[in-house]
């Protein structure tokens, strides 16, 4: 018999909740399904417009339907880059800002794993620890801008189309389903 940790059990329930909320039916179908109509009721049926088909609700679709694209901004400080040449430090800061923006996009697409621990003794919080992790694949992101902010910082902004986000999430959920088998 296998034993599972609380973290593994929680992850399995989270995956099942995501998969249960997903649907393989089209989100915006132009066809309406109706019950068969008898010939003597045809004239009445033509006058009635079918009720709108409601899309199944899940946790992901409301956020995706509201946005045309996902945008993320990343920042990096120039002076802390590990090079003595100022020009090279600026280039490294631009690259670090871009990677920070990619991390932010990944959080928006896949969510963020949060591991929190709180220790309480004598009704007082003794220790409060948070660890976060994000993991995923991003493709198709467009560089919107790279701009200096102040004297010592760069800001990079990336944009990702809603359709690419939908594809990435579909691939991710199918991989999770294959791992669960």
First to last CA, the chain: 17
Q: What is the pLDDT of residues 90-127, one digit of tens each?
A: 999 999 999 999 999 999 988 898 999 999 998 899 99
pTM of the model as a whole: 0.59
Beta bridge partners of 148: 154
- The answer on pLDDT for 8 being more than 70 is no
Mean pLDDT of 37-58: 45
Residue appearing with tokens 């899309």:
55
**Torsion region of 158: left, alpha or beta (phi above 0 gives left; psi -120 to 50 gives alpha):** beta
Mean pLDDT of 61-72: 73
Pairing of strands 153-161, 124-133: unpaired
């Amino acid at each position: 018999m296998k034993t599972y940790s609380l973290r593994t059990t929680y992850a399995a329930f989270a995956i099942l909740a995501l998969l249960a909320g997903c649907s393989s039916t089209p989100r915006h179908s132009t066809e309406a399904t109706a019950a068969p109509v008898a010939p003597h009721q045809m004239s009445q049926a033509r006058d009635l417009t079918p009720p709108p088909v409601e899309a199944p609700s899940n946790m992901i679709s409301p956020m995706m339907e509201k946005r045309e694209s996902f945008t993320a901004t990343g920042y990096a400080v120039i002076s802390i880059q590990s090079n003595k040449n100022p020009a090279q430090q600026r280039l490294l800061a631009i690259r670090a800002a871009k990677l920070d923006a990619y991390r932010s996009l990944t959080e928006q697409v896949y969510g963020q794993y949060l591991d929190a621990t709180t220790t309480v003794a004598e009704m007082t919080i003794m220790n409060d620890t948070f660890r976060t992790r994000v993991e995923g694949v991003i493709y198709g992101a467009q560089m919107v801008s790279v701009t200096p902010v102040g004297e010592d910082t760069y800001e990079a902004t990336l944009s990702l189309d809603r359709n690419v986000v939908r594809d990435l999430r579909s691939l991710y959920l199918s991989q999770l389903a294959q791992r669960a088998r």
